[in-house]
Amino acid sequence: MEKKKFTKIGNVEIGNGIFLAPMEDVCDLPFRVICKRLGADIVYSEFIASEGIIRDSRTSKRKMKVAEEERPVAIQIFGGSIDAMVESAKIVEDAGADILDINFGCWVKKVVQRDAGAAFLKKPDEMAELTRRVQEAVQIPVTVKTRLGWDPESIVITEVAKKIEQAGAKALAIHCRTRDMGMTGLADWSWIPKVKDITNIPIILNGDVVEPEDVKRAFDTSGCDALMIGRGCIGYPFIFHRAKVMMEEGYDPGEPDIYTRVDVCLDHLRMSLDFKDRNAIIEFRKHYSGYLKGFFGASEVRRALMSSETYEEIEDNLRQYVKYLEDNDRLEPVSKTRKAPTLSCNSEKYVRRQTREVV
């Protein structure tokens, strides 16, 4: 029997179900707004340490800021102490989050050693208890993001899914890798239908959704209620627009032209300048390569942008660059405008594997 598709997480509409995945140092407020404008349905913040929230640290406060335009927005927290998580969840709710997401998937040592993130994959009962306590403490929907298990010998996702559902979680996002894989290997989407079969909350697929066509394939083959895009949108938020048009109108509008790229890049920069008190110009430098990738002479203009110190100088450089492309009849990209992250998720071998395993 076809499994029910959910349209809401608690009271929050899922829309097309194309979400921005939480990513540290990437998903700040300006980037989330950009992704929302381009079609992301729900945007997730980077993770925030519960201790930092309780200490009222300046960084945590900035990370918790929410803009009306980006709603609905999920704020993600992590930590090993149930009491601290409960207290910080209330603060996040007061800060205006629409969804409170709990990170039970972070694999990095400094987090796991503090008994947080993926460390909970070794203690599903505590994971459920923490989820229950947090959901009881706030009115907004609480969601959970985790992995399949600690390693291939201890895949616990079906047990975890049932337990966190019983604990009151309103959705579960599954990064379809184990903790020991880190970010290597292939995400195994075949667990999604198995989890859908035994639960009655929205299931969000995550891992290796990189190209717009992966979005449709993920929905069609796994039956997920929604999915999250992580690395595929770094430097390329346009994937949300392409995926949205594909889902709603059935065709891929293709690569954005250089005019769109420059306009979005400048919008993003202006917002970053408004949002961050200092270092915004320097921190923004990591984004230029993504926005300009594939266009003739991009590396030279990038070099100029890297040493530009004011908004005016940056805009001027970018406008002159577009004029240069126009004058030299070079408006079409000369190479692929972006690179899939580390593994080639769009390779034939990968697609064969995914479609074979997911029934």
Ligand X SMILES: Cc1cc2nc3c(=O)[nH]c(=O)nc-3n(C[C@H](O)[C@H](O)[C@H](O)COP(=O)(O)O)c2cc1C
* CB nearer to ligand X: pick between 84 and 325: 84
DSSP per-residue codes, 273-338: HHH-SSSHHHHHGGGHHHHHTTSTTHHHHHHHHHT--SHHHHHHHHHHHHHHHHHTT--S-SS-S-
Contact with ligand X (CB under 6 A): which of 66, 75, 167, 209? 209
The nearest distance, CB 336 to ligand X, in angstroms, is 18
DSSP per-residue codes, 203-230: EEEES---SHHHHHHHHHHH--SEEEE-
* CB nearer to ligand X: pick between 22 and 333: 22
Catalytic residue among 35, 106, 265, 345: 106
The piece of 156-164, 202-210, 218-226, 297-305 that touches ligand X (CB under 6 A) is: 202-210
* CB nearer to ligand X: pick between 231 and 268: 231
The residue to which tokens 């293709």 are assigned: 254
Residue 46 binding ligand X, by CB under 6 A: yes
Pick from 64, 57, 77, 54: which is nearest to 131 by CA?
77
CB atoms within 10 A of CB 106: 23
Pick from 324, 254, 252: which is nearest to 295 by CA?
324
Structural contact between residues 131 and 164, judged by C-beta atoms closer than 8 angstroms = yes
Residue 208 binding ligand X, by CB under 6 A: yes
**106 given a catalytic annotation:** yes
Whole-angstrom Cα distance, residue 298 to residue 355?
Answer: 37
Residue 47 binding ligand X, by CB under 6 A: yes
Please tell me what DSSP assigns to residue 150.
Answer: S
The piece of 35-43, 100-108, 193-201, 327-335 that touches ligand X (CB under 6 A) is: 100-108
* CB nearer to ligand X: pick between 36 and 231: 231
In the shown chain, the binding pattern of residues 222 to 261 toward ligand X, with x for contact by CB under 6 A and - for none, equals -------xxxx-----------------------------
Residue 206 binding ligand X, by CB under 6 A: yes
- Interface residues toward ligand X, by CB under 6 A: 21-24, 26, 46-47, 76, 103, 105-106, 145, 175, 206-209, 229-232
Report the catalytic residues.
Answer: 106
